[in-house]
Structures are given as structure tokens and as C-alpha cells.
Copies of this chain bind each other. A is one copy, B any other.
Amino acid sequence: MARKWSISASDSREPPHAPRRKTDSVLNLLGRRIVTGEYAPGDQLPTEAELGKRLKVSRPSLREGLKVLSVKGLVESRTRRGTHVRQRRDWDLLDPDVLRWMATGKPDPELLISLLEVRAIIEPAAARMAAQRAAPAQIAAIEQAYHAMAASLPHDVEACCRHDLELHEAIIDATGNILLRRLAQAIRTTLLAFFRLSANARESYENSLKEHWAVAAAIRRHAPAEAERAMRLLLAGTARDTAPAFAAPVGHKRRRTRASQPEKSDPQAKQTREERNDPEKAAT
């Protein structure tokens, strides 16, 4: 009967913290239940009085959590109709909490693909901008992350993952673009969760270390084009190593098949190949 609303048990980022505020524990618990499908879209969840009794919180505290869930697009409340779970398309997929909750459940192929595509778009451009603008301190941060990666490689893959993420975020930080910075921050946890699921992370890292360094070196030398190309290579490799882990659950809810417009039928295809070597292709 003892309901576990201790979120900290499953939260890896801040283990020692008990849920200080009850409204936050409500938020996390309900958010996770909705995102994992325990409450399905369209479902009406219990009345506030009932929910409060079950979760053992007062109605004001419950309502604060519910209100936050509603601004994150997960639920919608109306008088007399109750509060209903909204459709997935309405969820705020750039909200760190939502992404974190989604990362705890079974990986969603559509989200994974979208995430890899966004990276393939953002990061080469970010590397390019970083090479143009990075200040010495920012370059130092990038290289420090790289060295931390290399140092922790053979034994501590988990730490390597973290420093990998640090490196990518340091690059985005060096662009000086506040929106990109926030975007990187949003996808951080999801990316980390997906990396963890990648089975052969260690060999993958051993292969890609020099690719990481190529990016860092190009940024240090202020060579935008080279940084962009190096990042494309790096991402292509990462996608190649990550994709197999999710090959099984694919074919789920994707609206259209990805190959419905084969590029070979496109007269511009050759020209396309000349311009770039399509990391997003490898992501599918």
C-alpha cells in the first residue's frame, strides 16, 4: 500500500535528494505515468479529490502539479468534464521533464529518429559556428571534455558517455547562441538515456575517439568547414552504432515509410550527394 512517490529512487541525476516539495513529487509521478502510457491519451484521470486521497496530498498541492502538467501539454482540465490526458502530438517535446519521462520508458522510435535528425542538422552547423567564434576558454572547455572522455574510456563507459555529452554541449555553448544552448539542454537527458541503451558503447567509443578529436582540433584551429565535416563524420558513426539497438521495435507508429520517396528517383540526387554525405540517411 505504501505508494512509492520517491522519485529520487529512479532519478540518476540527483540521487541524494528526497522529494522536498510534494507538488513536485505529484508532478513527477503523474507525468511519468502519463508518458509511459499508464494513463493513455484521452483517458480521464480520477477526480482531484480521489487523486489527492490516493497520492496522499491535499488538493492545492495536487492542483499545482496538475497545473504544471497542463502547461507541459500532458493534460487538460475543464470544469465538470474532469482532467483528460492529451494526445501525444500536444505534448511539449522540448520540455526537459517530458523528455526525461519519455526516456525512462521504452524507447520511442519516432522520437529517436527525430532526435538523430535534429542532431544531424544542428551539430555540424554548431561546430562550424564554434570554429568561427569560440573564445579561448570555450576551446579549453571542449578539449577538457575530450580528455576526460579519453581518460575514462577503457574502464568507465558511463563516465565516457557523460563527458561525450559535455563535449557536444561545450561546442554548442561556444556558438554563443542562446536558443541552441537551450535546445541542447532539452535533449541532454534523452540523448544520455539512448546512449546508455547502446549495447556496444565501448567499442563504439574506441572507434570514434579520434573523430571526436578531429572536431575539437578543427575548432581550435578556427577551421569552420573542417569542423563541420568532422562533426558530420562523427555523427554518422554514432548513428550507425546506435541505430541497431532500436532496430527491433521499429515499424511502430511512423506515419509514412521513410523510403517512400527513394532518392534515386530524384533527378537532384547526384548533386545532393556531392554537397554532403548525408548523416541522416544512416540514422534511419
SS of A interface (majority): helix
Contact of A94 among B121, B183, B263 (CB under 8 A): B183
CB of B7 within 8 A of CB of A224, answer no
Q: Which of A70, A121, A186 has the most CB of B within 10 A?
A: A121
Contacts of A135 in B (CB 8 A): 255-256
A142 to chain B: closest CB distance in Å?
15
Which chain B positions have C-beta within 8 A of A114? 177-180
- For A77, the closest partner residue in chain B by CB is B21
For the complex, give the distance between the alpha carbons of A129 and B279 in Å.
Answer: 12
Q: Is the CB of A117 within 8 A of B223?
A: no
- Please give the distance in Å from A79's CB to the nearest CB on chain B: 10
Q: Which of A34-42, A85-93, A155-163 lies at the interface with chain B?
A: A85-93
Task: For the complex, count residues of A whose C-beta is within 8 A of B.
Answer: 69
CB A102 to nearest CB in B, in angstroms, measures 11
Is the beta-carbon distance between B263 and A224 smaller than 8 angstroms?
Answer: yes
| Closest chain B residue to A179, Cβ basis | B114
**Residues on the B chain within 8 Å of A226, using CB:** 268
Q: Is the CB of B70 within 8 A of A67?
A: no
A68 at interface, CB cutoff 8 A: yes
Which residue of chain B has its CB nearest to the CB of A60? Answer: B60
- Complex Cα gap A8–B91 (Å): 10
Q: Write out, one digit per residue, whether chain A residues 265-280 have a CB within 8 A of any chain B CB (1) or not (0).
A: 1111101100110001
**Pick the contact of A93 from B5, B73, B134, B179 — CB < 8 Å?**
B179
A256 CA to B225 CA in the complex, in Å?
Answer: 21
Q: Which 3 A-B pairs have the closest CB atoms?
A: A225-B272, A225-B268, A223-B268
Q: List 27 A-B contacts (CB under 8 A).
A: A5-B90, A7-B90, A8-B71, A67-B67, A89-B178, A93-B178, A94-B179, A111-B178, A113-B177, A114-B179, A117-B179, A117-B180, A118-B179, A121-B121, A121-B122, A121-B125, A132-B263, A133-B260, A135-B256, A176-B255, A176-B256, A222-B266, A223-B266, A224-B269, A225-B266, A225-B271, A275-B275
Extra A-B contacts (15), CB below 8 Å, given A60-B60, A131-B266: A7-B90, A9-B70, A23-B67, A60-B63, A93-B178, A117-B175, A132-B261, A133-B256, A135-B256, A183-B183, A222-B266, A225-B269, A225-B271, A225-B272, A226-B268
